[in-house]
């Protein structure tokens, strides 16, 4: 963004202190202020109804900003005063969204919740670079993607029998994208988004494959099947509906009439997200984690190369290529005792291998055809012998170096009877606080099948946990951190991490942290913000050349209810009596943080 980027390109801030779990505030460093850009229920179109949470309808919700914003990107246009905001609406908290009398009407709550899921594209505008944004109601690019939005299925599994239903006998068009967690913007300006915990809305017949994907055999509590039978695969003709979710989707935020795509070539699992890296020779790779305990890390290598400026060509790159799954081998394996204590050589590190699943259009997994590998990818990876990881969430290549960072958020079940024990890449049993792996491809163009790896940080509160490790940086000079989830990079190549899991883990509210990766301060971890009570910090976007930081604040006050809120974020309007036109509870919101002259605004 050099064309409108302001000054120095490094955010100066004094790290904030860890914030106690009872604080219902968004805390930012001294000299910074914050404001919401767009909140759950904000009307996106000129004909969208005003937000009226006591009388919400599916029709209104489909034209308003959805619930639980997760993945976020802010994509400015050339002059930096207009742009688009893109985000995922991952899931719903019915206890926060509906009064108690409505919560008993499952058909009503399901219909509204269906419209509150999906994605949003929202135009934004501001007075000048470095100034805060406002969203544009009725913006020409505004779009809600809901369960009614058609997606084209592409890649080798498109049209497979495994994807056919009575409503789509060709197996090539799916309505909607669900439970989208994280994502990434591509170098060609589209957005990737990962379909993750689809078992929250889908159920299926009792099969080995559905069991492996954690899909229930009875409709889950949200009961979407009451609105549309396809959400329950026990309904005749919809047995394969479950196989049509769990993909990486690609949308073009510049064209609200475009048809988004589900890329089967990247496999089907609980995709946290996907992030693309273009190597020096134009090789395009995409990395993705399967966010569940003991699941795997994946790499896709596109068949064709990136062509600068040829957007139509680049938008085909994720349709065809090779899919691999990671195997990690430590060089101190025998010394790992599960405590998180570092081995004799001082580092958790070793070599890795990308095990082939599909190469040159052919299955590399015995007994499975290509479409089976791509639809039942977890089973293929089991057979390949991949390494079971501690919930790989965001997997993000550093655009400055090509090194790949893997947020393993936690895994409290590692080492339990019958489960995998600690290994050098997942060195703690009962891994409550998580860790971050740094992966270096041996091939400078990232297409190869071997890599080196080390653990950048073993998370925790160093004051209470002597195994917390920050790449050797003095642990009395870092901010405590737990459950790394979403990753981003600033213009200087620093890693930014937002967390999900506190306060139940280390007792502090979730937050956003900057980690330096090179030089004498490698490993220095400083907290930039914390989110309100019960909330999760998602989708960080760091535009440090513009002195702006953006986060999605997901599920504030999650453990409360419509009647008994635990958060009033972001408007902090206290409860008023019904009919007075105000409401006193939290709204998940996208927030911008920016420098102010003195103190907080």
How many residues make contact with ligand FEO (CB under 6 A)?
A: 6
332 sits near Ca ion (criterion: CB under 5 A): yes
How much helix, strand and coil, in percent to the nearest 5, is found in the chain?
A: 15, 35, 55
Using an 8 Å Cβ cutoff, are 288 and 357 in contact? no
Residue from the set 123, 232, 500, 534 that interacts with Ca ion by CB under 5 A: 500
Least distance (Å) between residue 28 CB and ligand FEO: 24
393 sits near ligand FEO (criterion: CB under 6 A): yes
Least distance (Å) between residue 182 CB and Ca ion: 5
Give dist(CA 158, CA 144) in Å, integer.
25
Question: Which lies closer to Ca ion via its Cβ, residue 241 or residue 423?
Answer: 423
485 sits near Ca ion (criterion: CB under 5 A): yes
Q: Which does 553 bind (CB under 5 to 8 A by kind): Ca ion, ligand FEO, none?
A: none
Closest residue to Ca ion, judged by C-beta, is 332
Question: Which lies closer to ligand FEO via its Cβ, residue 272 or residue 544?
Answer: 272
Q: Which does 196 bind (CB under 5 to 8 A by kind): ligand FEO, Ca ion, none?
A: ligand FEO
Residue 507: CB atoms within 10 A of its CB come to 14
Q: How far is CA 261 from the centre of its chain?
A: 18
Map the footprint of Ca ion across residues 337-366, applying CB under 5 A: 343, 345, 347, 349
Give dist(CA 96, CA 41) in Å, integer.
13
Give dist(CA 301, CA 183) in Å, integer.
17
Question: Which lies closer to ligand FEO via its Cβ, residue 56 or residue 486?
Answer: 486
Least distance (Å) between residue 518 CB and Ca ion: 21
The answer, yes or no, to whether the previous bond of 570 is cis (omega within 30 of 0) is yes
Least distance (Å) between residue 291 CB and Ca ion: 7
Q: Which does 372 bind (CB under 5 to 8 A by kind): Ca ion, ligand FEO, none?
A: none
Q: Which does 345 bind (CB under 5 to 8 A by kind): ligand FEO, Ca ion, none?
A: Ca ion
How many residues make contact with Ca ion (CB under 5 A)?
A: 10
x/- track of binding to Ca ion for residues 438-477 (CB under 5 A): ----------------------------------------
- Write the DSSP string, 143-166: EEE-TTSEEEEESTTTT-GGG-BT
- Write the DSSP string, 42-68: -B-STTPPPP-GGG--HHHHTTB--SS
Contacts of 48 (CB under 8 A, 6+ apart): 60, 63, 64, 137
Of 455, 441, 458, the closest CA to residue 352 belongs to: 441
Q: What is the dihedral of CA 240, 215, 251, 537, to 10 degrees?
A: 170
Map the footprint of ligand FEO across residues 143-202, applying CB under 6 A: 181, 196
Q: How far apart are the two ends of the chain, measured CA to CA in Å?
A: 26
Map the footprint of ligand FEO across residues 64-103, applying CB under 6 A: 90
Residue from the set 209, 272, 353, 433 that interacts with ligand FEO by CB under 6 A: 272
Q: Which does 349 bind (CB under 5 to 8 A by kind): ligand FEO, Ca ion, none?
A: Ca ion
The encoded tokens of residue 528 equal: 């930039």
Give dist(CA 166, CA 187) in Å, integer.
37
Give dist(CA 142, CA 76) in Å, integer.
14
Give dist(CA 71, CA 100) in Å, integer.
29
Question: Which lies closer to Ca ion via its Cβ, residue 56 or residue 288?
Answer: 288
Least distance (Å) between residue 548 CB and Ca ion: 22
Q: Which does 207 bind (CB under 5 to 8 A by kind): ligand FEO, Ca ion, none?
A: none
Question: Which lies closer to Ca ion via its Cβ, residue 11 or residue 286?
Answer: 286
Q: Which does 331 bind (CB under 5 to 8 A by kind): Ca ion, ligand FEO, none?
A: Ca ion
Residue from the set 174, 181, 279, 515 that interacts with Ca ion by CB under 5 A: 181
Using an 8 Å Cβ cutoff, are 456 and 446 in contact? no
Least distance (Å) between residue 198 CB and ligand FEO: 11
Q: How far is residue 234 from each of residues 144, 174, 270, 324, measured CA to CA in Å?
A: 29, 18, 21, 32
Least distance (Å) between residue 552 CB and ligand FEO: 11
Question: Which lies closer to ligand FEO via its Cβ, residue 90 or residue 239?
Answer: 90
Least distance (Å) between residue 273 CB and ligand FEO: 8
Map the footprint of ligand FEO across residues 274-313, applying CB under 6 A: 291
Give dist(CA 177, CA 66) in Å, integer.
13
Least distance (Å) between residue 565 CB and Ca ion: 22
Give dist(CA 404, CA 453) in Å, integer.
9
490 sits near ligand FEO (criterion: CB under 6 A): no
- Write the DSSP string, 359-381: ETTEE-STT--HHHHHHSHHHHH
The encoded tokens of residue 57 equal: 């309808």
Residue numbers at the binding site for ligand FEO (CB under 6 A): 90, 181, 196, 272, 291, 393
Binding site for Ca ion (CB under 5 A): 181, 331-332, 343, 345, 347, 349, 393, 485, 500
């Amino acid at each position: 963004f050099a064309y409108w980027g302001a000054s120095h390109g490094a955010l100066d801030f004094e790290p904030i202190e860890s914030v106690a779990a009872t604080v219902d505030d968004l805390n930012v460093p001294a000299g910074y202020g914050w404001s919401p850009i767009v909140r759950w229920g904000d009307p996106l179109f000129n004909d969208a109804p005003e937000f009226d949470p006591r009388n919400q309808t599916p029709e209104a919700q489909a034209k308003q900003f959805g619930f639980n914003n997760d993945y976020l990107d802010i994509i400015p246009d050339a002059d930096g005063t207009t742009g688009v905001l893109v985000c995922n609406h991952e899931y719903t908290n019915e206890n926060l969204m509906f009064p108690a009398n409505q919560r008993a009407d499952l058909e009503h709550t399901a219909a509204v919740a269906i419209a509150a899921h999906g994605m949003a594209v929202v135009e934004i505008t501001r007075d000048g670079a470095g100034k805060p944004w406002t969203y544009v109601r009725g913006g020409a690019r505004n779009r809600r993607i809901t369960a009614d939005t058609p997606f084209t299925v592409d890649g080798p599994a498109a049209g497979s029998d495994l994807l056919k239903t009575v409503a789509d006998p060709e197996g090539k068009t799916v309505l909607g994208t669900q439970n989208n967690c994280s994502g990434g913007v591509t170098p060609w300006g589209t957005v990737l988004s990962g379909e993750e915990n689809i078992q929250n809305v889908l159920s299926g017949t009792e099969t080995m494959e559905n069991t492996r994907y954690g899909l229930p055999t009875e409709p889950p509590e949200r009961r979407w099947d009451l609105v549309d039978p396809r959400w329950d695969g026990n309904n005749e003709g919809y047995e394969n509906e479950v196989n049509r979710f769990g993909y990486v989707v690609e949308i073009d935020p510049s064209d609200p009439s475009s048809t988004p795509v589900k890329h089967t070539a990247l496999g089907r699992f609980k995709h946290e997200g996907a992030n693309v890296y273009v190597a020096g020779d134009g090789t395009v790779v995409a990395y993705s984690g399967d966010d569940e305990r003991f699941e795997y890390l994946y790499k896709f290598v596109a068949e064709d190369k990136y062509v600068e400026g040829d957007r139509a060509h680049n938008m085909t790159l994720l349709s065809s290529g090779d899919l691999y799954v990671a195997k990690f081998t430590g060089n101190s394996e025998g010394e790992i005792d599960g405590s998180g204590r570092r081995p004799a050589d001082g580092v958790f590190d070793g070599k890795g291998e990308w095990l082939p699943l599909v190469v040159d259009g052919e299955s590399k997994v015995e007994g499975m055809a290509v479409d089976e590998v791509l639809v039942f990818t977890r089973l293929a990876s089991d057979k390949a012998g991949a390494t079971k990881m501690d919930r790989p969430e965001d997997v993000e290549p550093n655009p400055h170096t090509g090194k790949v960072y893997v947020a393993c958020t936690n895994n409290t079940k590692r080492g339990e009877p019958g489960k995998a024990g600690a290994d050098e890449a997942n060195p703690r049993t009962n891994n409550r606080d998580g860790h971050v792996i740094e992966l270096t491809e041996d091939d400078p163009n990232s297409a190869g099948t071997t890599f080196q790896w080390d653990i950048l940080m073993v998370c925790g509160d160093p004051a209470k946990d002597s195994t917390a490790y920050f790449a050797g940086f003095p642990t009395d000079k870092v901010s405590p951190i737990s459950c790394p989830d979403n990753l981003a990079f600033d213009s200087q190549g620093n890693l930014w991490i937002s967390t999900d899991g506190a306060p139940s883990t280390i007792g502090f509210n979730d937050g956003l942290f900057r980690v330096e990766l090179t030089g004498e301060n490698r490993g220095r971890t400083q907290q930039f913000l914390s989110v309100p009570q019960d909330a999760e910090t998602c989708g960080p976007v760091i535009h440090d050349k513009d002195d702006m930081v953006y986060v999605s604040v997901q599920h504030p006050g999650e453990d409360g209810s419509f009647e008994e809120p635990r958060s009033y974020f972001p408007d902090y309007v206290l409860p008023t009596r019904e009919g007075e036109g105000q409401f006193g509870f939290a709204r998940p919101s996208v927030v911008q943080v920016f420098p102010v002259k003195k103190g907080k605004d």
